[in-house]
Amino acid sequence: MQPNIYVTRELPEKPMAALRKLGNVICNPEDRMLTHEELIKNVAGMDAVLCLLTDPIDEAVLKAAGPQCKIFANYAVGYNNIDITAATDCAIWVSNTPGVLTEATADIAWALLFACARRIVEGDRYMREGKFTGWAPKLFLGQDITGATLGVVGAGRIGGDFARKAKAFGMKVIYHNRRRDEALERDCDAEWVTLPELLQRSDYVSLHVPLTMETRHLIGEKELKMMKPTAILINTARGPVVDEKALAKALKEGTIWAAGLDVFENEPEYEMELRDLPNVTMMPHVASATIATRDRMGMMCVENIQAALSGKLPPNCLNP
Ligand code: DGY
């Protein structure tokens, strides 16, 4: 009997084709997020589930899958959407996709940093609106990047890659991590500092921490007030790491200069006030969205599902 594999939303063709070689693939026919009720209904009786960061995989969903289910393979590196303890209790493996989206995610953090510092989106809008009347000394003045101080909060894989790329711009890198990273210090002369020191010294603060109980609202009103009025905040990690209401207020009142956001506190919702602020650049959670990266993420899910279905430990298993 072929194993049943459920896919909560269609992936690009390469991983879909590879999945079909592993068993009977049943895929959500609509290109939209499933509700919790639909998830519960659709995973029942499946041997493997390929899920997304938008799917809340809690105890109810895991139990609904049934005792034959071997794995929930998350199509993301972040896995705050899955209750790993409940999965372990249900004897279901959980996997993620580390490593394959590091560069793409670091690159989008840089794209947002540039967009904010040099007001790229504002300038583009101005051109499209036909407002350009010629070169002007005070038109769209931005912030220097070369030689500035870059603060990296969470210098893991993605934060580390982001920090190393700063070398090309002659930036001073400071970072805040639970542990010191001597390789990073060697590679880009980075300095390990406390969070308050990082916030006070940085021209750019980029967030690269996973979402946990400790990092929820890591950046709130108090932290934003510690930043320079010329500073720019970049978030490509998870929305709830920043208190979005406090951020909107800080951007409106000029507490900080700008923000570049790829993630939001209550996706797909976001603070309406952000829409009206010219000093925020927003992207719809697309940090890993390159053709090759999304293929690699999918193929990694396939490898994990293949291992689990043959009773082997998935290579990217997250269960303790
Ligand atoms: C992840 O993999 O966690 C990213 O947020 C996907 O873009």
| Domain boundaries, given as residue ranges, for the chain | 4-100+291-309, 102-282
- Which residue's CA is the closest to the ligand 1 atom numbered 2? 76
The identity of residue 116, as a single letter, is C
Whether 119 sits among the annotated catalytic residues: the reply is no
Label residue 55 by pLDDT band (50, 70, 90): very high
Confidence of residue 64 (pLDDT cuts 50, 70, 90): very high
Band (pLDDT 50/70/90 cuts) for residue 30 is very high
CB-based contacts of 127, cutoff 8 Å, min separation 6: none
Of 11, 82, 95, 105, which is best to mutate to test ligand 1, by the most ligand atoms within 8 angstroms of its C-beta? 105
- Rounded Cα distance between 178 and 245, Å, is 27
pLDDT value for 203: 99
Determine which one of 176, 201, 208, 285 is catalytic. 285
Catalytic annotation present for 265: no
Instruction: State residue 125's pLDDT score.
Output: 98
Over the chain, what HEC string results? CCCEEEECCCCCHHHHHHHHCCCEEEECCCCCCCCHHHHHHHHCCCCEEEECCCCCECHHHHHHHCCCCCEEEECCCCCCCECHHHHHHCCCEEECCCCCCHHHHHHHHHHHHHHHHCCHHHHHHHHHCCCCCCCCCCCCCCCCCCCCEEEEECCCHHHHHHHHHHHHHCCEEEEECCCCCHHHHHHHCCEECCHHHHHHHCCEEEECCCCCCCCCCCECHHHHHHCCCCCEEEECCCHHHECHHHHHHHHHHCCCCEEEECCCCECCECCHHHHCCCCEEECCCCCCCCHHHHHHHHHHHHHHHHHHHCCCCCCCECCC
Q: Is the pTM of this model over 0.95?
A: yes
Among the listed residues 237, 246, 181, 175, the one whose alpha carbon sits nearest the alpha carbon of residue 212: 237
* Percentage of the residues of the chain whose pLDDT score is greater than 70: 100
> Is 267 assigned a catalytic role?
yes
What percent of the chain has a predicted confidence (pLDDT) above 90?
Answer: 100
Query: 141 C-alpha to center of ligand 1: Å?
Result: 33
Q: Output the pLDDT for position 156.
A: 98
Q: Which CATH architecture has domain 4-100+291-309?
A: 3-Layer(aba) Sandwich (3.40)
Fold: same for 4-100+291-309 and 102-282: yes
Distance in Å, CA 257 to ligand 1 centroid = 26
Residue pLDDT, tens place only, 212-240: 999 999 999 999 999 999 999 999 999 99
Output the pLDDT for position 93.
98
The pLDDT-based confidence of 265 (bands split at 50, 70, 90) is very high
Q: For 144-188, what is each residue's pLDDT tens digit?
A: 999 999 999 999 999 999 999 999 999 999 999 999 999 999 999
Distance 236 CA to ligand 1 centre (A): 9
pLDDT digits (tens, 9 = 90+) for 102-144: 999 999 999 999 999 999 999 999 999 999 999 999 999 999 9
Residues near ligand 1 (Cβ within 6 A)? 53, 76-78, 101, 285, 287-288
Contact 237, 210 (CB under 8 A): yes
pLDDT for 168: 97
Of the listed 201, 208, 238, 294, which one is catalytic?
238
pLDDT of 190: 98
* pLDDT value at residue 28: 98
Mean pLDDT of 292-304: 98
Spatial separation of the C-alpha atoms in residues 217 and 276, rounded to whole Å = 23
Residues contacting 299, CB < 8 A, separation 6+: 14, 15, 18
> Mean pLDDT across the stretch 189-209?
98
Tell me, what's the pLDDT at 119?
98
Read off the tokens for 77.
Answer: 């590196």
Mean pLDDT rounded to a whole number for the chain: 98
User: What's the rounded Cα separation, in Å, for the pair 8 and 235?
Assistant: 26
Average pLDDT over residues 18-30: 98
Q: What pLDDT shows up at residue 272? A: 95
102-282 fold? Rossmann fold (3.40.50)
